[in-house]
Structure 1
Amino acid sequence: MRLAIFSCILLFCVCSDISGQTFALYRTGTLYDSFENPSQTAFVTDSSRRYAFNFFIPTLSATYGVSGPGVPTVKKALYTGKYDVRDLSETEKKLSRVTLSENTYLLAFKAFYSVRYHRELGFSWQVRTDGYGVTSNPALIIFQDYNRVINDELNNTDFNNNLFNTHIYAQSYHQFSMTYREQYNKTFAYGLKLSYLSGIAYSKLKVNSSNIQFDPGLDDYSLYLDGDLRTNVYYDDMGRKMLIPGIKNPGLSLSLSTDHKLKQGWNIMANVKDLGFIRWSKNSYIFRDKDYKIKASAVDDSLWKDIKKQLKNKSYITPVNSKAEILVNKDLGDFDSNLILSKNLFYKGGDIAWVNSYQYKSLHFSATADYNLNRFFQAGAQVMIKSPNVEFFLGSDQIFKTAETKTALVNSDGTGGKGNMGASVYLGFSMKFGRLMSRWQNDTYIPGINIKTSENTGFFKKLFGKRSEY
């Protein structure tokens, strides 16, 4: 039972949607946008104050998606708490895919360093999770009703090899970053983001080949698996200490971003995001074996003990979910349109998104159409209140599926909705403070004059008291 519960959690809950990119926030001039796309500015010269801060109010982004024949089973497990595989066909060849992601800025601070060349310097602390899962129907069925799979195989003269092939990974880490942005000239800007990473958790299960062998005399069977298992935490090692950042699982990443203005209102932005790695500590686990054998009589809690005996402690390096992106923008005044291409560099997944935005005074409305390369479509919407010194936004990359999920959770309905399932939400807030940053010809601040008398008290005045003016 513990094996079934852990497998379901790992497959359907731990993974995080790689597709959650909050594309509607690209080129919005928000503090969040300036950290995710370092070439983008968070300030408006002559209008913004010098410092931007989220005041420790987290900027949250979380989303997930499920596609394939396993959707009904996931719906029941998520909405009703029951794991039910009766609707799954053991002969189905199509695979189920799960994607999900989380990106939370706990701290985001940026300074308008210089009006000349529009230089900006920022610091942030965020927590990220990325993951992906793909598996077959028999792999889902066997945890609850393995006799269905066995009987189906016995009724066929040719056994179906690779019946339980599975690929699941999930990675979570802290990211401490410094960003720098500069307007090189009137048409070209660039930015970079250098980050220190502190790993929280990593799990990867990859079954490359699998088959079943039967022993009619003993009325028993054995499951043979050839694959790779890596994790920095076993199921009984979990604890709060995992969440504390440190140097146990260190890593580095680098983001590079450029923004180029073309003629007739066209703009092109290009990014290479989070190109980096994490080195997991020597206390991490690794298991690599050819034809690992699991007998039918061992499919119970004792299987966990058997697996743990064969795990070896070893350090290893994993890449983070780096991306290559390009954005083409057409500025039409109050109306704005972005076409975005985003591709994961080391893991499966990517997006083709079209974002249309409309601005009315301080209100911004956006609609997003996004095709995820993990084979599902997303429609999103966003509302934002934004001035040069205050911003608040709320949105979803999967607005219709999120509404379905909310209704199903409230009603504990495991059959609601059609097609793929998913949910997404993001929100954020920031405010600017300090003196107004203006060009010298527009500046109302003159050093030595725009200072209160109480702030201009010198050493000798403190020593001898007030002196007469002349």
Structure 2
Amino acid sequence: MNKIYIVFCLLFFFFSLSVSAQQFSQYNTGTLYDSFENPSQRSFIPDSSRQYAFNFLIPNFDANTYVTGNIQPGLKSRLFSRTAFYDTEGLKIGKGQYNHFNANVNAYSIMFKVFTSLNGDVEMGFSAQTKVESRGLFSDESLALLNGVNNFHANSYSDIFNDTYRFQAYHQLSFSYRERINNKFALGFKVSGLLGIQYQQIDIVESHISFNREVPTQPTALLYLRGRYYDSYIPGQMTAHDYLPTFRNPGAAVSLGASYKTDDRITIQANVKDLGFIHWSKRSAIYDFNNSEPINDLTSTHREDTLYNRTHKLLKNNGTVQSFTTPINGRAELSATKSYWLGDGNNLKYTPTLIASKELFYAGFTGALVNHFQFGKFTATLTTSYDDMKFFNLGTQFMVKSPNVEFFVGTDRLINTGRFALASLHNDAQIQHEGDYSGGDLYLGFSLKFGHVIEHPMNASSIPMGEKGFFGRLFGRLFKTDR
């Protein structure tokens, strides 16, 4: 085994610690989706592919979510049980028990690429996508209060609602460029304009609640919260119109990628993805809340609405109207892959890929091993990953891919996605199940290539050979490789 491959294996196990749930199975598939996510990855095959690639406005997306801790049965019972109640039996009050929440959506509505130069192996493309990034840390008591006062046996508690929450949604319009410098080295980038939709961030640093049970059938509470709340400007109650792209909250991002093929045909790929920011409108607000509110109707069927309205009133206290800037969830990734032909007729191709992924602005790490098994135009993928939440995940993917047609569907969290789906079908055993986490992951994609077939010069009938791309010409001048 090549020494560089051994070094990468060591790096892989070092980084197997976690990143927020994300999609790894598309690595080194050569799909249109893969080429936009990993800028140095090619999506065209000369002498086979046609010149243009497009998803024809069929969304290519990845959506994933998870929640950990004691609140799992409570949330699933509220969402999926036929009686729609909160199962709070397993919650621990006053013990400092917290639960992680994470949700991400990445949906491409437009993906278009064109092969522009055979000599430089140049690809250029445009894309439009929408992203949602959400994460939080919630106490057991935060869910228990939604079920009334039954779980709270003392008359007062301190610092049991010190929760954090972050939500960010935005549109991303991008231009991508990929060029093969020589037979071993390829570069790519994606530059993006960002259009913010909504941002919310809540950090509670101090909390207190006192219960009044003088009238047992109508208990009340006094809730105190201190912390900071960021809220982007929405003109009035949020409607579907507010999700349309506007320039109210502008931003920018860049993704950079490079790949190198060793003499042993091992491909090393490095990416910095979505390094960027959004500047939220000067009509947004930052609230340094430090106040208390009475909460009534804790036994009524409307207590969820009551708690939401009172808490929202607490948060929007002592505010300043001003703009602020936030980063988007960028990542740095390193991967290594090599293909092997199996069987007497070399009709089965096996491609393992090792991936290490690190979030740039958070503590998350993930290590993944992606195994592609290709037979003709059909590919089956088995993915395993491990992260710093100590989650071991097993994923699968099915893909049909020819030089000009591609379709794929899969999940990087197979077992938990299946359990979550069963819970949504009112399966009581899965509603009550409390594993490492509850949640799911699903991704889907489709694209077609059209136009003239990309042909090499000896039999080219439609596409001229073209000149080298920008990077190729620069490389030739710097290292005097031009003839």
Percent identity, aligned pairs only?
37
Question: SS at the partner of 2:136?
Answer: strand
Does residue 1:165 correspond to 2:166, yes or no? no
> What is the match of residue 179 of structure 2?
182
Contact 1:286 1:313 in 2 (8 A): yes
Paired residue for 2:392, among 377, 398, 419? 377
Residue 241 (structure 1) shift: 1.7
Gap change, CA 1:303 and 1:191, over 3 Å in 2: closer
Residue 294 (structure 1) shift: 3.5
Does residue 1:244 correspond to 2:244, yes or no? yes
Does residue 1:87 correspond to 2:90, yes or no? yes
Gap change, CA 1:406 and 1:34, over 3 Å in 2: same
Residue 432 of structure 1 aligns to which amino acid in structure 2? K
Does residue 1:226 correspond to 2:241, yes or no? no
Question: SS at the partner of 1:425?
Answer: strand
Does residue 1:196 correspond to 2:198, yes or no? no
Residue 121 of structure 2 aligns to which amino acid in structure 1? H
Paired residue for 1:439, among 450, 453, 456? 456
Work out the number of aligned pairs and report it. 424
CA RMSD of aligned residues (A): 2.8
> What is the match of residue 74 of structure 2?
73
Contact 1:18 1:100 in 2 (8 A): no
Gap change, CA 1:32 and 1:303, over 3 Å in 2: closer
Paired residue for 2:439, among 405, 422, 425? 422
Deviation track 1:212-268 (CA, whole Å, cap 9, x = no partner) reads 579999x99754433111122679621112111010111100000111111322111
Distance 1:348 1:341 in 2: 14
> What is the match of residue 329 of structure 1?
337
Q: What is the TM-score with the length of structure 2 in the denominator?
A: 0.81
Does residue 1:395 correspond to 2:398, yes or no? no
Does residue 1:120 correspond to 2:123, yes or no? yes
Gap change, CA 1:147 and 1:287, over 3 Å in 2: farther
Paired residue for 1:206, among 191, 203, 215? 203
- RCO greater where, 1 or 2, for CA within 8 Å and sep 6 or more? 2
Flag as ranges the 4+ runs of structure 1 deviating above 6 A.
213-217
Distance 1:59 1:247 in 2: 24
Residue 187 (structure 1) shift: 0.9
Residue 187 of structure 1 aligns to which amino acid in structure 2? K
Residue 85 (structure 1) shift: 2.4
Residue 78 (structure 1) shift: 2.3
> What is the match of residue 461 of structure 1?
none
Distance 1:212 1:42 in 2: 57
Distance 2:432 2:89 in 1: 17
Q: What is the TM-score with the length of structure 1 in the denominator?
A: 0.83
> What is the match of residue 314 of structure 1?
322
Distance 2:42 2:89 in 1: 53
Gap change, CA 1:170 and 1:43, over 3 Å in 2: same
Residue 37 of structure 1 aligns to which amino acid in structure 2? N
Residue 331 (structure 1) shift: 2.0
Paired residue for 1:96, among 99, 104, 108? 99
Residue 431 of structure 2 aligns to which amino acid in structure 1? T
Residue 94 (structure 1) shift: 3.3
Deviation track 1:106-135 (CA, whole Å, cap 9, x = no partner) reads 000000011112110000000111111111
Contact 1:404 1:416 in 2 (8 A): no
Residue 293 of structure 1 aligns to which amino acid in structure 2? S
Greater Cα offset, 272-281 or 409-418: 409-418
Deviation track 1:45-76 (CA, whole Å, cap 9, x = no partner) reads 11111100001111121111111111111211
Contact 1:113 1:121 in 2 (8 A): yes
Residue 82 (structure 1) shift: 3.0
Residue 326 of structure 1 aligns to which amino acid in structure 2? L
Residue 143 (structure 1) shift: 3.2
Deviation track 1:147-196 (CA, whole Å, cap 9, x = no partner) reads 643x3365xxxx6x532211111111110000000111111111000001
Distance 2:128 2:354 in 1: 29
Contact 2:258 2:269 in 1 (8 A): yes
The runs of 5 or more residues in structure 2 that have no matched partner are 1-17, 299-305, 342-348, 465-483
Contact 1:44 1:388 in 2 (8 A): yes
The runs of 5 or more residues in structure 1 that have no matched partner are 1-16, 448-470
Distance 1:216 1:430 in 2: 62
Structure of higher CA gyration radius = 1
Distance 1:288 1:24 in 2: 43
Question: SS at the partner of 2:245?
Answer: coil
Residue 317 (structure 1) shift: 0.7
